[in-house]
Amino acid sequence: MTNMTCIEDLRRAARRRVPRAFFDYAEAGSYAEQTLRANRADLERITLRQRVLVDVEQRDTATTILGEKVSLPVALAPIGLGGMQWADGEILACRAAKAAGIPYTMSTMSICSIEDVAQAVGKPFWFQLYVMKDRGFVRALAERAHAARCSTLVLTVDLQVLGQRHVDIRNGLSVPPALKLRTILDIASRPAWAARMLTAKRWTFGNLAGHVKGEDSVKAVADWVAHQFDATLDWSDVEWIRSIWPGKLILKGILNVDDARSASKAGADAIVVSNHGGRQLDGAPSTISMLPRIAEAVGSEVEVLFDGGVRSGQDVMRALALGARACLVGRAYVYGLGAGGERGVATAIDILRKELSVTMALTGTRSVEEIDGRVLN
């Protein structure tokens, strides 16, 4: 990890070390990937305003998210199949986040279970929830998260139906990997990954264990998940979740002002301006292009978080300058996880921290609270 200078270095290392199907799963967007590319391109077009002869020796990257003190305006976003990037990946990512002093968000579609992570880490984390057709299962997940001392529920609201990701179909993605010749050869070319997976706690979706009939069958799990995403999801479901969840509630997947206002009225404590990393509605606008107007509309009512395309501390600065309280990062830390497990995630977080600190210095900024539109050209 000592030679990893940026997130792209971690990405290249992860691509070498993780089987193709699982690397591509984290990497890809939906359909033609227009929105995936726009997330990055629109961030890169925003230029920063250089300032000189300002005393910036003392700089502070710390802030708060929903009243929780954090060392960096960053949280690790929910990522499915983290345990297929590296054995017990969710546990390792959570440990790295807690050591760094930032939140970790566990996905419903994780490999390790809520209880696995809670027992291994021993500190509160965030839990991401999908509202599925089986409302009893949804309630049970929320209750399990509360019992595990999860401080915050992140309700993802932009996955009523699944956007097609072509690479997953081409790769025949399954969990655990299907024993096809191409898959066997791919795994055989990554013996370190395979050896680690032999000692992993789980090989299938931990949060579904004991709930899906025939859970040892990849097809049974896949069929259950595919039929559980609920196209009838509406704001009454958000109000129901608010009524059964006693902690902080974040709505993830907000991409326009009207939905942001509705989220505030529904009792959300925060929203995440997000297009699911370009993995759902292809052709949707980039998140950074929508952030300013959403932040202006509801920033005094709920905390506004940002998600989509963050690969550097400069990107974090751009999002904060346009109204975000903090950023959720997904692929950036997943590359670290695939490249080096817990140490790789810690490296990804440290890269973002150092880049943000230097960017603050070169824009004449001493603290996160000072970051606003004045740092942009």
DSSP notation for 141-196: HHHHHHHTT--EEEEE-S-SSPPP-HHHHHHT--SSPP--HHHHHHHHT-HHHHHH
Which residue type occupies 276?
A: H
Q: How far apart are CA 268 and CA 290, in angstroms?
A: 19
276 a catalytic residue: yes
> Phi and psi (nearest 5°) for 42?
-70, -35
Find, among 283, 281, 237, the residue nearest to 263 by Cα: 237
With contact defined as beta carbons under 8 Å apart, do 157 and 148 qualify?
A: no
Quote the CA–CA distance of 280 and 138 in Å, as a whole number: 22
Give dist(CA 130, CA 107) in Å, integer: 9
221: left (phi over 0), alpha (psi -120 to 50) or beta: alpha
* CA-wise closest residue to 208 among 218, 200, 193: 218
Q: Which of 146, 166, 211, 276 is catalytic?
A: 276
- As annotated, the active-site residues are 276
